[in-house]
Structure 1
Amino acid sequence: MRRDFVKIDEERCKGCGLCINFCPKKVLSFSDKFNSKGYRPAQQHDLDNCIGCGFCYMMCPDTAITVYKETVEV
């Protein structure tokens, strides 16, 4: 079984929303919290539907996103 997910460096994220707009599965959204710079960073709100496509990573101008693809043994 495969599990894909993203990690977003909340302190690097400036809340531009490009990753949110380009996510084909709509698994990203803005956080309710603010980072230390006053931005609302992106977050992965849907942990089950990420397909690990990397569009969010490619669109991020701040290189704040890392995409992980894991194989989980059942």
Structure 2
Amino acid sequence: MSEGQERKGRGTVWVKQEVCKGCSYCIDFCPTHALQFSREFNAKGYHFPVLERPEDCTGCDNCGLYCPDFAIYGARWKDIDAKKAQNA
């Protein structure tokens, strides 16, 4: 998510598309079902996850905890803002 985009939900996720192997653990274990596979393929030929319903994301990082390749992680907006304020 880039600066200036409207925030939805209580958190967001970042995906390292080139690292993802399409195992679906992040999608399977997302408690709010905010993630889906993309229609696109990465360079390895796998569908990677996308935040399909950002309004449902809590930033809990279950996706990151279950990812065997550390290809995704989540964060809560309040934690992101606190970190930015600390670094300012």
With the length of structure 1 as denominator, give the TM-score of the two structures.
0.87
| CA displacement at 1:66 relative to structure 2 | 2.1
Is the counterpart of residue 46 in structure 1 residue 56 in structure 2?
A: no
More helix by share: 2
Hey, what does 1:36 align to over in structure 2? 43
Runs of 4+ with >3 A deviation: none
Once residues 37 and 29 of structure 2 are traced to their aligned partners in structure 1, the CA distance between those partners, rounded to angstroms, is 14
Gap runs ≥5 in structure 2? 1-8, 82-88
Once residues 20 and 39 of structure 1 are traced to their aligned partners in structure 2, the CA distance between those partners, rounded to angstroms, is 14
Greater length-normalized contact order (CA 8 Å, ≥ 6 residues apart): 1
Aligned length: 71
Preserved CA contact (<8 Å) 2:20 2:46: yes
Gap runs ≥5 in structure 1? none
Preserved CA contact (<8 Å) 2:62 2:74: no
